[in-house]
Homo-oligomer: A and B are copies of this chain.
Amino acid sequence: MTFALADWINPRLQQVEQALMQWIDPDAPAALGQAMRYAVLDGGKRLRPLLVMAAAQAVGGDSAGSGQAALRAACAIELIHAYSLVHDDMPCMDNDVLRRGKPTVHVQFGQAQALLVGDALQALAFELITPQGDDVPPPVQAALAGLLARAAGYQGMAGGQAVDLASVGLSLTEAQLRQMHRLKTGALLLCSVQMGAVCAGQPTPLVMQALSRFGEALGLAFQVVDDILDVISDSATLGKTAGKDEAADKPTYVALMGLAPAQTLAKQLHNQALAALNDSGLPLAQTLPLRALADMVIHRNN
């Protein structure tokens, strides 16, 4: 079955961009709104929002991807991702000055404002998925907020950042490296798939389990590819500083196992992700966007 990913992605990207423009209030007090918009708009591949929408479609949700719950969940997870980048770039963390080809938020607006931008984006993520009125049924709101909170917090992204921080200069085993990335980047990618699934009804435990296996494999593959790109790309292609992992003496898959074995691992994880979809029992046609996004993650060059 052929599938034109660009034709699937483009209208959904437009939807997400428009929704983010609408939902990040430019008039938030004391220029906070402008700084929040700077941190989020016109940047990034929007992989997490696309995964939410693709997962909603996989379980039989609105195939136009226009369901309010999925759109809100898609934007919410992007806000969490964006806030983590703002805080991660700060001088006390990675001290990075370039992000998506632009000065980072603290360079542009100062450190105090960058701190508040991240804090406010995290709160806004939870605001988006708990709308007043009838847009999203309250039980779906509760499920989305529960998934997002766990993926963003100490059991997920923030926990992974703490492990990352504590690992600089240490030599990790592959199991330790995997655990760090499972938390730091994997949790949010897995959460994207899970949020999409609960937006579109009540998936069976079998389906939820298969989609979670897909999300876990994809999340790890994403990081392995990230480590590979940090070595083989230049800053212009990446839109951020290349080679910074090595410069910061950070543990990576490439440093641990070498370039070729890391590339093999990425392919294996890709296959695991696709196998999980085969095991899900979901109709092939419904899972085509998820499959195509997995291909994109593996073959991206930035």
Contact = CB atoms under 8 A, between A and B. Distances in A.
Contact of A127 (B90, B143, B150, B183): B150
A180 to B, nearest CB: 8
Nearest to A152: B123
Nearest to A161: B116
A154 B33 contact: yes
Interface residues of A, number: 58
Interface in A109-146: 110-113, 115-116, 118-120, 122-127, 129-132, 138-139, 141-143, 145-146
B87 A115 contact: yes
Contacts of A113: 162, 165
A149 interface: yes
Main secondary structure of the interface of A (DSSP, over half): helix
Interface stretch (A23-31, A213-221, A248-256): A23-31
B115 A93 contact: yes
Contacts of A126: 126, 145, 148-149
A160 interface: yes
Contacts of A93: 112, 115
Contacts of A232: none
A153 interface: yes
A158 interface: yes
A155 interface: yes
27 contacts: A28-B154, A28-B155, A28-B159, A29-B154, A29-B160, A29-B163, A29-B183, A30-B159, A30-B165, A30-B167, A84-B119, A118-B119, A119-B119, A120-B158, A122-B122, A122-B123, A123-B149, A124-B153, A125-B149, A126-B148, A126-B149, A127-B153, A130-B146, A138-B138, A138-B142, A141-B141, A141-B146
Given A30-B167, A116-B165, 6 more contacts: A32-B159, A92-B112, A120-B154, A123-B152, A126-B126, A142-B145
